[in-house]
Amino acid sequence: MRADRLVAILMLMRTRARVTAAELAAELEVSVSTARRDLEALSSAGVPVYPQPGRHGGWSLVGGARTDLSGLTAGEATALFLLAGPGVPMTSELRSAMRKLLAALPRTFRGDAEAASGALLVDPVAWGGAGRVRPPLLGTLRDAVVRGRRVRLTYSGRSESTRLVDPWGLVDKDGTWYLVGGTERGRRSFRVDRVVDVLLTDEAAHRPPGFDLSEVWGEVVRDVEGRRSGVVATVLVVARYLSAFRAQWGRHCEVAGEGGDGRVRVRVSAHRAVSVAEQLAGWGAVVEVVEPASVRDELARIGAELVGRYGPAAEPPGGGGPGA
């Protein structure tokens, strides 16, 4: 498990002046490439490990070898717990490793380290498309969550607005990041790529007692999908396009079995028939809607509009042909 290895690597490096990826691989029973990736991940996260090239080179900690973890800075300890947190199953072994690491940290660092371990969550199932570009303000919001500071958030939704938010946690939903937090109107979730500006205030954020990010995010998902899934359509999809089709629809796509003639029977859902039809229209003959009639009717309407605009009898842009 990666989080266990990161803790083990750091502890080993605290007792040795220099280690190689091969030595770590043998010690931890992983491949050399895996050990090297873990070292690079620690370095990228801000833990002060650096490579020394050459025949007698290896990886060392800035400042030399130490026998305990008291040399970690607050930022370094937080970075390690952020690496260990998102998407990693919390087994009894991992809990034990995290407890040992916390016990070895200076008392003043433990609050931020514990907050970091619950600051991030990975939800691998997309809501339709996925955003693969890391939002520029993600780091600022992560710091606000870990430090427990209220933020003044400028957000571009249907219109741009500014509000005070108690940041509770961040969720990576298949490449699209969401901030979950509290506002004067209750719990809200914000797409991070729509955040225009963030001002970190000196006010302490309020977090509900016993807050669990995974439980709260589960409630958010159920609320959103309850609003989106008002119409369910049964569709036949050409089998070789099924993977791309499912990637577009995400959680709102369920494979229902074979459809015959090299096609697969699939159920998709959205909050209105027109929304289902609009998402299906671009697939053309790759898909066939079996039911309901309301989605078929919307597709027919969209098709008629396209033929009217672009069909053989349509008037060219600008109105009329030569001499008009």
Domains and CATH numbers, the chain: 2-117 (1.10.10), 123-226 (2.30.30), 229-310 (3.30.70.920)
Pick the residue with more confidence: 91 or 7?
A: 7
Burial grade of 72 (CB within 10 A; 0-12, 13-18, 19 or more):
buried
- Whether the CB-CB separation of 141 and 179 falls below 8 Å is answered with yes
Q: Is 215 helix (H, G, I), strand (E, B) or coil?
A: helix
Give tens-digit pLDDT for 63-91. 543 434 555 554 555 555 554 444 444 44
The closest alpha carbon to 182, from 143, 156, 209, belongs to 209
**Is there a contact between 63 and 70 (Cβ–Cβ < 8 Å)?**
no
Q: How confident is the model at residue 223 (pLDDT cuts 50, 70, 90)?
A: confident
Give the pLDDT of residue 240: 93
The gap from C-alpha 222 to its chain's centroid, in whole angstroms, comes to: 17
Give the tens place of pLDDT for each residue, 15-60: 666 788 888 888 888 888 888 888 887 776 667 777 877 666 788 8
Q: Distance (Å, rounded) from C-alpha 16 to C-alpha 61?
A: 9
Q: What is the DSSP letter of 316?
A: P
Predicted confidence (pLDDT) per residue in 268-318, tens digit? 988 788 989 999 999 999 999 999 999 999 999 999 998 888 888 766 666
Reference 227, options 270, 166, 273, 289; nearest CA is: 270
Q: What's this model's pTM, rounded to 2 decimal places?
A: 0.45
Quick check: 183 pLDDT over 60? Answer: yes
Say whether pLDDT at 1 is over 50: no
Average pLDDT over all residues of the chain: 76
Q: Residue 137's pLDDT is what?
A: 87
